[in-house]
Amino acid sequence: MWELFCKTCLIIFILMCLHSFLGDVVFRLENSFPKVSEITREKIDTSKEPIQVEYSGAKKYIKAKGSKNIFALEPQADYSISGMVIAKNSNFWFRDIMRSKFDDVCWIDFGLVWGELAKDKKELYKNLKFKSNKTLAQARQLNVNAVRAYDELSWNVGYIDSHVSHTHIIPANSNIMGALLKIRKNENIKLNGYLVDIYTDKSELIAKTSLSRTDHNATSRGSGACEVMYVKSVQIGDKIYK
């Protein structure tokens, strides 16, 4: 009897993994052929600070569809950031097995740096290492580790904290998602959209966004200092995707 139970559990687990894997393959195929919306002569300037302006739009909420749920996004600020990608987490494979509602609406994460940190890649990685991942406790976080002692770094800790962001992204459509999937580490990108709080269609709070680049712990507005961004356009090189 025990042997039959174990075999049944194993078969169920294999079927769950197969279903999840095939679902992820379909998801990638559906979001992997973005079309360029326009070409621009404006270069991406990673030396500038992100631009954040209090939201004053007419829409109180923006509807967003996840793979399984419907969400209401409450814009908090118009937001634009130009930065160099130092980490990326698409968090797709086998996501059905351990997927939260947050995972269902935020489809990809980027670790970004700007200012002095984005000037020299060799100097940056000589000093710091970055990794964007999802923990066993379901948290999606950016780990920043110093290669050398902090007093030997090229920048002080305060500057590093205020020029590194972990952005959880909700793409406005599949074309933008496809463009985001194309992005690779060390590329310069520009994101335009809103910083948003996330609710279910039944008004259950899922997450709040950070509204500051200087918060860096669980006591912040975003419960971890991460930006939650609804992206309306992304620029890669001279190409803009909307």
| Both tokens assigned to 236 | 């890669």
Q: Which residues contact 5 (CB under 8 A, 6 or more apart)?
A: none
Q: What is the pLDDT of residue 87?
A: 94
Q: Which of 191, 217, 216, 205 is nearest to 108 (CA)?
A: 191
Residue partners of 188: CB distance under 8 A and separation at least 6:
44, 46, 82, 83, 84, 85, 118
> Is 165 in contact with 81 (CB distance < 8 Å)?
yes
Distance between CA 241 and CA 179 in Å, rounded? 7
Cβ atoms of residues 2 and 79 within 8 Å: no
Q: Report pTM.
A: 0.88
Terminal C-alpha separation, the chain: 57
CA-to-CA dists, residue 160 to 44, 126, 164, 191, 213, angstroms: 21, 14, 6, 21, 10
159 CB neighbour count, 10 Å cutoff: 14
**Domain positions in the chain:** 38-241
Residue type at position 196 = V
Cα 66 to Cα 48: distance, rounded to the nearest angstrom = 33
Determine the distance from the C-alpha atom of residue 38 to the mean position of all C-alpha atoms in its chain, rounded to a whole number. Answer: 23
Nearest CA to 91 among 79, 80, 82, 104? Answer: 104
Report in angstroms the alpha-carbon separations of 34 from 59, 76, 80, 180. 27, 28, 21, 9
Q: What is the number of other CB atoms lying within 10 angstroms of the CB of residue 130?
A: 20
* Number of residues written out for the chain: 242
pLDDT tens for the chain, 242 residues: list them: 777 767 777 777 677 667 666 767 777 777 888 999 999 999 999 999 999 999 988 889 999 998 789 999 999 999 999 999 999 998 655 555 567 888 889 999 999 999 999 999 999 999 999 988 776 556 788 888 988 887 788 899 889 999 999 999 999 999 999 999 999 999 999 999 999 999 999 999 999 999 988 887 666 776 667 899 999 999 999 999 99
